[in-house]
């Protein structure tokens, strides 16, 4: 099995962090193939940056998805996830949705802890858009700017864990999600320090992607996720133009 892991931001070091965690959880025989967005922000924090990242995700899928069994949109907030599912014939999983779905299986009340207030706003909207905000009891965010996104886990890890504990004690969270691709692996490192299940989006996405490949669902021919009819486009990369308009 080959899974394409797409980092929708342009920071190669973050791609490496997420790919390492994905490989830790992947089953024997599963190959994780990481790719970094060709354009966009150093890290995604706003709606505008997420819109650009959605384009970058589609561009990366068009260029790299051939020969893969599934793909992961590896940014918490899942930029471009619905669009990717609409145009691809393989399963496409987002790390935010995968973590939220897993949280639903482990408790009735879940919280997200993340790195900045702007991310908290985006993540709340993401949960609502996925229809998974019904059990979301809190989103806790660190204060202050993110100095070095490539080293966020090392620099912010203790503060994130402290907020996870507050989510349990003050918000009544029964499951906690550490939100943000750069934090990949922190949930595994801190699992014994937090008295409820703590989740990482990358690990949840790998597990979900592998399960979907093994289930082998057919590609939809009806409904909103059936591949749309071809039409001409202008200004896109050749690979993305070919994906969206295969009759060109």
Delimit the CATH 3.40.50.12500 region(s) of the chain. Answer: 2-94+205-244, 96-201
**For residue 78, with 0-12 CB atoms within 10 Å meaning exposed, 13-18 middle and 19 or more buried, which class applies?**
buried
* Neighbour order of strands in the sheet with 175-178: 136-141, 110-114, 175-178, 198-200
CATH number of this structure's domain 2-94+205-244, picked from the four choices 3.40.50.12500, 3.10.180.10, 3.30.450.20, 3.30.450.40: 3.40.50.12500
pLDDT at 150: 80
pLDDT at 233: 87
Taking residues 83-97, what's their average pLDDT? 96
User: Which pTM value belongs to this model?
Assistant: 0.94
pLDDT at 184: 93
pLDDT, tens digit, for every residue of 144-196?
A: 777 788 888 888 889 999 999 999 999 999 999 999 889 999 999 999 999 99
The CATH-assigned architecture of domain 96-201 is: 3-Layer(aba) Sandwich (3.40)
Lowest mean pLDDT among 80-84, 209-213, 227-231, 236-240: 227-231
- Phi (first) and psi of residue 34, to 5 degrees: -85, 145
Pairing status of strand 31-36 against strand 2-7: parallel
pLDDT band at 246 (very low <50, low <70, confident <90, very high): low
Q: Express as a percent the part of the chain with pLDDT over 90.
A: 81
pLDDT, tens digit, for every residue of 53-82?
A: 999 999 999 999 999 999 999 999 999 999
Mean pLDDT of the chain, nearest integer: 94
pLDDT at 6: 98
pLDDT at 5 over 70: yes
pLDDT at 173: 98
Q: How far is 215 from 201, CA to CA, in rounded Å?
A: 21
Give which of 76, 166, 194 is closest to 124, Cα–Cα. Answer: 76
pLDDT, tens digit, for every residue of 191-216?
A: 999 999 999 999 999 999 999 999 99
SS3 content of the chain, % helix, strand, coil (to 5): 50, 15, 35
Q: How far is 64 from 222, CA to CA, in rounded Å?
A: 26
Angle subtended by helix axes 201-215 and 95-106, to nearest 10: 90
pLDDT at 247: 62
pLDDT, tens digit, for every residue of 112-132?
A: 999 988 899 999 999 999 999
Instruction: Tell me if residue 151 falls in helix, strand or coil.
Output: helix
Instruction: Tell me if residue 35 falls in helix, strand or coil.
Output: strand
């Amino acid at each position: 099995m080959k899974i394409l892991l797409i980092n929708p931001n342009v920071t190669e070091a973050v791609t490496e962090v997420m790919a390492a965690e994905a490989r830790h959880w992947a089953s024997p025989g599963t190959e994780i193939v990481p790719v970094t967005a060709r354009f966009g922000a150093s890290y995604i924090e706003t709606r505008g940056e997420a819109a650009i990242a959605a384009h970058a995700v589609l561009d990366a899928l068009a260029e790299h998805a051939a020969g893969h069994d599934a793909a992961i949109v590896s940014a918490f907030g899942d930029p471009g996830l619905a669009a990717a599912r609409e145009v691809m014939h393989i399963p496409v999983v987002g790390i935010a949705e995968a973590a939220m779905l897993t949280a639903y299986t482990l408790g009735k009340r879940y919280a997200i802890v993340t790195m900045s207030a702007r991310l908290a706003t985006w993540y709340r909207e993401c949960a609502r858009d996925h229809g998974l905000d019904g059990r979301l009891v809190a989103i806790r965010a660190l204060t202050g700017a993110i100095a070095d996104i490539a080293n966020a886990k090392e620099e912010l890890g203790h503060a994130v864990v402290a907020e996870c504990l507050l989510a349990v004690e003050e918000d009544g969270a029964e499951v906690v999600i550490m939100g943000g691709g750069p934090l990949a692996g922190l949930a595994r490192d801190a699992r014994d320090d937090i008295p409820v299940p703590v989740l990482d989006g990358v690990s949840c996405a790998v597990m979900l992607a592998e399960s979907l490949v093994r289930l082998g669902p057919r590609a939809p021919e009806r409904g909103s996720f059936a591949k749309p009819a071809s039409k001409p486009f202008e200004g896109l990369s050749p690979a993305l133009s070919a994906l969206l308009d295969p009759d060109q």
